[in-house]
Amino acid sequence: MNSGKQMKDTDWVFGLCKDKERLKDKKGIKAHPTQKPLKLIQQVLLSASNKGDLIFNPFMGSGTTAVVAKALDRNWIGIEKEKKYVVLAKNRIKDFVKNAR
């Protein structure tokens, strides 16, 4: 991914989720308080896994890890105890699959 070279700290600087990436509720407020940037999770999964690997996320939140895992051809399992975030993640993953076709 990095031409066989060690990654530098500057490769891991990412902005906050905003604009179209930031999920919002019907009132226009953040749908999840700690939504992670897609590029951050992409970097983590590319660095720590291979296509076909299983990614386990015990705190699924808004579903960022699941979306990135699907985009990178990884399998995933996610756990989330808050029903509103389960619904949010489920819809986000469904939208991603629908738009990826």
SS3 56: strand
pTM: 0.85
pLDDT of res. 16? 87
Q: What is the pLDDT of residues 16-69, one digit of tens each?
A: 888 999 999 999 999 999 999 999 999 999 989 999 999 999 999 999 999 999
Secondary structure letter of residue 60 according to DSSP: -
Query: 1: which residues sit within 8 A by CB, 6+ positions away?
Result: 46, 47
Query: Going from the N-terminus, what domains does the chain have, and what CATH number goes with each?
Result: 32-100 (3.40.50.150)
pLDDT, tens digit, 9 for 90 and up, residues 76-92 = 999 999 999 999 999 99
Strand ranges (DSSP E) for the chain? 54-57, 75-78
Three-class DSSP category at 85: helix
Q: What residue has token string 């990614």?
A: 55
pLDDT of residue 2: 59
Q: Cα separation of 89 and 80, whole Å?
A: 9
